[in-house]
Amino acid sequence: MGVLSVSAFLTDAVTLVHGPDGCTHINTSLLHTTLSEHDIFRIPDIVSSGLGENEIIFGGEDALHDALTAVCSDDPSAVIVASTCVAETIGDDVAGICSQPWDCPVIHVPSSGFLGGTFTDGYNSALSCLTSLITPGKQDLNKVNIVGEKNLEFEVEDNFQEVSRILEMLGLEVNIRYVRDITVSDIKRFKDAGLTLFREDTEGVLGRHFHACTGIPSLPEFPVGLAATLAFIKDVGRLTGRDSTDAVCAEEERQASLADEFSDLAGEYMTFDSFGFQSAEMEMFVEVAEAVGIRVSEEGTVIPVPFCMPVGTLGLQRMLRQWRRFVDG
């Protein structure tokens, strides 16, 4: 699913899942469900190599070869091949089949369902493997790549708009959104940018790979928090060789206005409750609470920590509105 959350957004490519039909159905269905919730009603091109019992016993490489032949005959811009748990268990040489000469780029993304990885591993793996489509370019310090947007995140477009707003304050434009609703030829333009922004790569897994492939400097994550947003603006300015003083001042004013907008929350008591994988211990919550005059106390209104962290000042504004709804509710 991590692979599909990337490959399904390469609009002129086909994703081939090497496994039983059921695996493709399950993943396509889950993807379709999630996209429908985001009011995206298209169905990505995902096909199956259709492994059956015979292939599990005698090997599935012929089935993969046949499926690739059929998919390539439709002349897609690229084929991304992802394998599944059972294909990895029986040990099909998926990389070997994919490396044979084909009529279009065939990119094998190492993935194996629950064997050897999580959703994030598949997602990182897909982003890394697709760099093979990047061609030489001339770095332009006015352009920025956005890498690894969380395509299944409900706020994905909102977060992109917020980062774009910050970039515009510095006179920068987005080169490509890698990989969100782009084509294979768009990826070829990757090296036209002077900076790469990762959505969330705090451990540097993607950063190291992309730096080795492109040599473009990067920042590891979208900004989360008041101080982090200001630091983000300064870092972007520094890495693109421009003065960020005015942009930082403008953002400080915007952040100061949050205290006015949410002055009704000043003096309220709140406490933060972990939700899912998130941690209520993040300093950002206390930072925002103090900026607005909220008192953090265990006796206060329980605020669930958002599943996805708010991006930029706009994200904080939306989060504070939610806090207000909890207080009022």
Binding site for other proteins (CB under 8 A): 1, 19-24, 26-30, 32-33, 36, 41-43, 46-48, 51-53, 55-56, 84-86, 89-90, 113-116
The token pair that represents 89 in the structure block? 């268990």
Q: In angstroms, give the least distance from the CB of 48 to other proteins.
A: 7
Q: In angstroms, give the least distance from the CB of 65 to other proteins.
A: 18
Q: What are phi and psi of 94, to 5 degrees?
A: -65, -40
Instruction: For other proteins, give the closer residue by CB, 20 or 207.
Output: 20
Instruction: For other proteins, give the closer residue by CB, 16 or 127.
Output: 16
Instruction: For other proteins, give the closer residue by CB, 116 or 267.
Output: 116
Q: What share of the chain is helix, strand, coil (3-state, %, to 5)?
A: 50, 15, 35
Cα R_g (the chain), whole angstroms: 22
Return the closest-CA partner of residue 40 out of 77, 8, 2: 8
The residues, ordered by sequence, that sit 6+ positions from 261 with a Cβ below 8 Å of its Cβ are 317, 320
Q: What are phi and psi of 189, to 5 degrees?
A: -90, 5
Instruction: For other proteins, give the closer residue by CB, 46 or 172.
Output: 46
Q: In angstroms, give the least distance from the CB of 186 to other proteins.
A: 24
Instruction: For other proteins, give the closer residue by CB, 88 or 268.
Output: 88
Element holding 62 (H helix, E strand): helix 61-72
Q: In angstroms, give the least distance from the CB of 77 to other proteins.
A: 17
Exposure of 193 in the CB half-sphere (CA atoms within 13 A): 29
Instruction: For other proteins, give the closer residue by CB, 51 or 133.
Output: 51
Q: In angstroms, give the least distance from the CB of 291 to other proteins.
A: 39
Return the closest-CA partner of residue 92 out of 54, 58, 129, 46: 58
Question: What DSSP state is assigned to residue 99?
Answer: T
Q: In angstroms, give the least distance from the CB of 156 to other proteins.
A: 19
